[in-house]
Chain A
Amino acid sequence: MIKLLRLWHYLTRYVDGLLLSGILLLMLTGLVTLYSATDANLARVTNQATNMLVALGIMWLVANIPLQHIMRIALPIYATGLLLLLGVMLFGEINNGARRWLNIGITRIQPSELMKIAVPLMLAWYFDKHEATLRLRDYIVAALLLLLPVIMILRQPDLGTALLIAASGFYVLFLTGLSWRIIATLFVAGAGSLPLLWSMMHDYQRRRVMTLLDPTQDALGAGYHTIQSTIAIGSGGVLGKGWQHGTQTHLDFLPEKSTDFIFAVFSEEFGLIGNSLLLLLYLAVIARGMVIAANASTQFTRLIAGSITLTFFTYIFVNMGMVIGILPVVGVPLPLISYGGTSMVTMLLGFGILMSIQTHPKLVKT
C-alpha cells in the first residue's frame, strides 16, 4: 500500500495539483454537456473521454520534461512547423473548402495546430536570448516571426486559428514590455485601416459582418447560428431548463451543438447560475496560470506561461463571444468542453508546459 502510494507520488511529482483539479472539473462539465448535446449518445461521450485521456497522458509527459529541454527545441519546432505549413500550401488536402491538412503517409496532420504552441515558444526563446538588450529591431524581427505563420494560415483559410496564433504571439510581445506607444500606434493603424479593409472585402464577407450587426438580415443563412444560440441562452433564464431539457438543443434548432456551439447547450440547460460557475472555474484555471507565470524564474518560462494562460482565456472569450452574438462566427472551440481531440491535445500540451515550469527546480540565472 505504502509502496503504491510512493509510486503515485513519484509519478505525480511534476503534476500541479491545483491546475489539474481545475482541468478535470472542466472536462467533467464537458462530458456531461456533451451527453446532452448528442442526445444521450454514449459512443460520442466515450470517444471524447478517450480523447481526454490521451491528452492528459500527453500533458503528464510534457510536465515531466524540464523546460531547458523544451527551450532547446523551440527553434527546430518552429522551423518544422513553417515547413509543414508550406507543405500544406503546396500539397495540402482540401476538406470542407479549406486546405488545412497534410498527408504524411502514416497519418494526416494539421500543422496550424502545432504552430499554436510553436509560435509562443519561438518568440519566448527569441526574447530570452536578447533579453538584456531589447531594441525596436528585436520587436520587428519578432513581429515577422509571428506574421509569417499567421498569414500562411489565414490563406488556408482558417481565420479562427490564425487569430489565436496572432493573439498568443502578441501576448509574448506585450509581456516583454512592448512600449505602450507602439501598442497605441498599432491600435490606431488597425482602426484606421478598417475602411480600406472593408473596400477590399468580398461581398459575402461583408455580408458576414453585416450579419453580426443584424443577424435577422440573413435569418436562413449565416445569421441562423447566432439567432438560435442567443435564443437558447436567453430562454435558459437564471436556473436553466435542466440537464437534457433544453428545447433548442433537443429540437435540433442549434447548429454544431456538440462542437463550436456547445456553450449554448450548457447555458440553456444550466442558466445564469451554471454560466457563472463555469466562468469562475475558468477564472480559477487562468489565475493559477498567472501565478505560475509570476513565479517563473527565467524570462523564457515567464513569457511562455503568460502567453499560454492568456491564449487559453482568448479561446474562452472568442468562443463565448461568438455564441452570445457579440463576436463574428469563427471556428474556435470552447476549451476542454467542445467535442474534438485535436484542440484538446494542444490545450493540454500547454498545461503540461505550465506544470513543468511550476514543478521543476527553479534555476536562478546569474
Chain B
Amino acid sequence: MNRTVELRNHLRELHNFRLRLVISAGFVLVLLLLLFSRFYYLQVIQREHYHTLAEANRISIAPIVPNRGLIFDRNGEVLAHNYSAYTLEIVPSKVDNLETLINELSTVIDIAPRDRKRFKKLMEESKRFESLPIRTRLSDVEVARFAANRYRFPGVEIKARLFRQYPKGESASHVVGYIGRINDKDLEQLEVNGDLSNYRGSQSMGKIGIEQSYETELHGITGFEEMETDAAGRVIRVISRTPPVSGNNLMLSLDAKLQEVAEKAFGDRRGALVAIEPSSGDILAFVSKPGFDPNLFVDGIDSENWDLLNNSIDRPLNNRALRGMYPPGSTFKPFMALAGLELKKRWPQQAINDSGYFSLPGSTHRFRDWKAGGHGIVDLHKSLVVSCDTYYYGLANDLGIDNIFSFTSQFGLGKKTGIDIEGEVAGLLPSQEWKMKRHKQKWYAGDTISVGIGQGYNLATPLQLAFATAILAGNGTAYRPHLVKKVLDNNNEVLREIVTQPLYTLNLNAANLATVRNALIDVTRAGGTAAVAGAGAAYTFAGKTGTSQVVGMKQGEKYVENKIQERHRDHALFVAYAPAETPKIALSVLVENGGHGGSTAAPIARLVMDYFLLGKLPEESAAKAVDQSGDEEEETPAELHTHD
C-alpha cells in the first residue's frame, strides 16, 4: 500500500518535473527569439545607421588634462607649481609578459629596482587598461634612445606630462599637502560626485592638505580633442579642440617666510605652532614638526620611503597642529579668569591666601599647587602672572562644570574651528553630559577642579588654542580660521575671498577683558612665568605659559625632569598675542616633551613675533638662549590624575 503511494508520488513528481522543463524550454526559446529579433533590428533594419556610425568612428576623442592651479603664500611666493617632463608608460593589458618586457626595456633605459617596485604597486592599485609610468622624468637622451627602439616595445609609450613640484620641500608640508595617483577609492568617490568624466585623462588628485580640500578649485576642466584616424588608428588630423580650463590658483593666508622662521625655531623638537591674524582669521603660520617631503608622493611613493615615514617614532605624517590633542594646561587659565569675572564669581581684587593646596569642603584630598608652600596672597592678576593653581581650583569649584563648559566653548574649545583643510579633530571640552555618555558615570565635584587648570579630561588641538587666543586678542570677535585667503584665476585676478565676515562677536565686558589682558602682559615681564622670553621685547607682548602632563604621577611623588625619559616628559605650551594693545598676531606653541612652557615654548613664540612685527630674523645666539631655563617655572601638580 505504502509503496504504491510512493510510486505514484514518483510518477507525479516526474510528470511535474517534465512539465516544468517544457515550460522552461519554451521560455528559453522565447528569449532566444528576443535576442534574434534584436540582432535583426540592429543588423538588418538599422544596419545603415550603424554602418555610418562605425565609419564616423574613425574620429576619436582624447581628453586634454588641464593645468593644475598654483599655490602661493600671501606674498606671492610659490608653494606648489607644475613642470613638464617625459615619462615612459606601459599599458599592461597590451603586454603579455610584463617581466620580460621590463627586463628588455632596462637594456635601453635605466630602470632601477625602486622603479620596478613602484610600478608593481601601481599595478595593484589600478584598473588594467590604464597606462602606468615605469619611469618618470626621462632625460632627452633617454627619450631619443627609446624613440629609436620603439618598434620593439608595443604597448610602451613616451608621454609628456605635467608634474607637481613643491619647491619648499618639507616647509609647510602639512598645509599644502600633496597630490598622488588616483586609486580605485578615489574613482568611486569621483563617480559618486559625478566628476568622473572631468577626470578622464587625469592621473592624480589632491590627497591631503590644501591640495585635497581645494581639489575642485585646483583641478580645472578637462578639454577634448577630436581626431580623425586612418584605418590603422593613426591620427591623420585634429578636427576640433575644446581647450581645457586650467584650475584656479590659490593665495594662502600663510606667510612662507614666517613659516620658515617658526619651523627653524623648533630645531629638532617635535611640536606644533599656529599663528592667526585676530582681525581676519588669516592663518599666518601653521607648523607641525617634524614634516615630510611632499615631493616624494607626487609620482607614487616607493615602499621604502613610505615605511620610513609611516613607521618613524616621530610620526612626521601626523598633522599635530590639526589633529594632535593635548591637555591645554595653564593656557586654559585666562579663559577661566574671564569666566570668573563675567559670571561674577570673582572680582579683580578678590584675593585668596594660597598655602599650596586646595581641598573640597568635607574632603581631605589635597589638590596641590605646582609650587610647594603656595604663592601667598593671590588676586586675579597675580594668579595669571605666576600661574597659581590653587586660585583656579577654587574658581573652578565656584563656577561649576556647566558654567566652565558653556563659557569656554564660546572660544571654540571642544568643537571644530571649521578650518579649510580636512581631518580636523574637535578636541575635548568635558561636560556632565559627555561624561555620562562616554564613561557612563556621573560628574564628580573633583572632576571640575582639575578641568579648571586645563588638565583632567580637557584636550585641545594647537589650532584650537590659537583660535581661542585670537578671539581673546580680538576682544571677543571670532573669524573662521583659514589657510586659503583668495581664489585667483589663471591671470591671478581675484575670484573670491574665503573669509570676509566675522563668525560672531562675544558680548564681553570691556573692564573684565582689560583685567585679564593686563595680567597676560605681565606674564612676559619680570616676575611672570614667561619673563625670559619677554625680556627686551620692543612691543608689548601678552602670553600665558602652560605645561601638560604626559605620564601620571602618584600622590606625593615629585616630578623631576632629569629622571624622566625624554618621551615621558611634560609637553610645553604657550599662547600669546602682540602687540598687546592692537594685536596683529595671536599664536599657540606646543613643544612635545619640552618640559616647561616658559623655557621652551615661549622663546619660539618670541622669535616668530620678532620676525613678524619687526622683520627681525633670529640670530644664532637667540636660538641658543631658548635652552636656558627661567627663574621660576611652573610644573604640573603631581596628583592631578589620581582621582580620575
Interface residues, chain A, with chain B CB atoms under 8 Å away: 41, 43-44, 96-97, 131-132, 171, 174-177, 202-204, 207, 218, 220-221, 228, 230-238, 247-248, 250-253, 255, 267, 271-272, 275-276, 279, 282-283, 286-287, 290, 293-294, 299, 302-303, 306, 310, 313, 317, 320-321, 324, 326, 365-366
Contacts and interface: CB of A to CB of B under 8 A. Distances in A.
B188 interface: yes
Interface stretch (B189-197, B248-256, B412-420, B583-591): B189-197
B51 A279 contact: no
Interface stretch (B53-61, B82-90, B107-115, B281-289): B53-61
A61 B393 CA distance: 83
A306 B21 contact: yes
B51 A234 contact: yes
A321 B36 CA distance: 11
Interface in B15-46: 16-18, 20-21, 24-25, 28, 31-32, 34-36, 38-40, 42-44, 46
19 contacts: A43-B97, A96-B127, A96-B184, A175-B20, A175-B21, A177-B16, A228-B57, A231-B53, A233-B43, A235-B50, A235-B53, A247-B57, A271-B43, A272-B40, A287-B25, A290-B25, A306-B21, A324-B42, A326-B34
Residue in A44, A218, A220, A235 whose Cβ sees the most chain B Cβ within 10 Å = A235
Interface stretch (B6-14, B290-298, B315-323, B371-379): B6-14
B51 A174 contact: no
A340 B6 CA distance: 46
Contact of A251 (B49, B57, B188): B57
B202 interface: no
A233 B191 CA distance: 28
Interface residues of B, number: 54
Contact of A275 (B43, B61, B127): B43
B46 A234 contact: yes
A131 B39 contact: no
Residue in A41, A97, A228 whose Cβ sees the most chain B Cβ within 10 Å = A97
A175 B24 contact: yes
Nearest to A313: B28
B440 interface: no
Given A267-B39, A272-B44, A310-B28, A97 B184 contact: yes
Interface in B244-273: none
A177 B192 contact: no
B187 A234 contact: no
Contacts of A255: 129
A365 B21 CA distance: 21
Nearest to B126: A96
A238 B6 contact: no
B43 A231 contact: no
Give 8 nearest A-B pairs by CB, closest first.
A234-B50, A235-B54, A97-B184, A234-B42, A272-B43, A235-B50, A177-B16, A43-B96
B145 interface: no
A236 B24 contact: no
Nearest to A220: B197
B605 to A, nearest CB: 46
B551 interface: no
B39 A326 contact: no
Contacts of A202: 192
A310 B53 CA distance: 36
Given A234-B47, A238-B43, A255-B129, 4 more contacts: A175-B24, A203-B194, A234-B46, A302-B14
B42 A218 contact: no
B9 A132 contact: yes
Contacts of A366: 3
B52 to A, nearest CB: 8
Contacts of B6: 132
Contacts of B53: 231, 234-235
B200 interface: yes
Interface in B165-208: 184-185, 187-188, 191-192, 194, 196-197, 200
